Amino acid sequence: MADAMKDYAVRTLQLRPSAIIAERLPRDTVGDAVFTKRNLAAVRGWSRVLVVTSDYHMSRACTIFSFVYGPGIRVEGIGAGCATNPQLERSEVQSMAAFRATFDSIVAGDDAAIFARLLTKHPFYNGEVFPPFPAPVSD
């Protein structure tokens, strides 16, 4: 998906390919937030992030990014207009409830705790839905 979005941005917005970083590790919105923070924002010292996603997904995406990024990085969002329907809206509510249950009791911005919970409790990373995500090698 990351490569398809990069290709779209290059073709449609006429951006230089070298100006776009495609993060390929995420398997969902939570992963988008976790891996962009770990691999981009933290490394590059970002103080703010702009989330671009579908209008119907904006509230959940910004909530997730704000939680993962914590109070030290400002999260803003821009919705890309798209059609919605009751099924998509129900799915967003269910996904938000699953996110809250998965990351309950973790402090916003606690990178180690969020990553550990992602690998152990999130079905897209712990082996329930997709192969387990490889745990990081300890120093």
Rounded mean pLDDT, 116-129: 96
Output 69 or 5, whichever has higher pLDDT.
69
CA distance 25 to 35: 7
Residue 30 has pLDDT above 60, yes or no: yes
DSSP code for 106? P
pTM above 0.85, yes or no: yes
H or E element: which one contains 96? helix 86-102
CA distance 82 to 111: 32
Please state, rounded to an integer, the average pLDDT across all residues of the chain.
91
Residue 99, CB-side half-sphere exposure with 13 Å CA sphere: 22
CB-CB contact of 125 with 103 (8 Å): no
Which pLDDT score, from 0 to 100, does residue 105 have?
97
Q: Per-domain residue ranges for the chain?
A: 2-36+45-121
Angle at the Cα of 95 (from 6 to 2), degrees rounded to 5? 10
Rounded mean pLDDT, 2-20: 82
pLDDT tens digit string along 40-87? 999 999 999 988 888 899 999 999 999 999 999 999 998 877 888 899
| Residue 81, token pair as written in the block | 């207009």
Collapsing DSSP to helix, strand or coil, 37 comes out as: helix
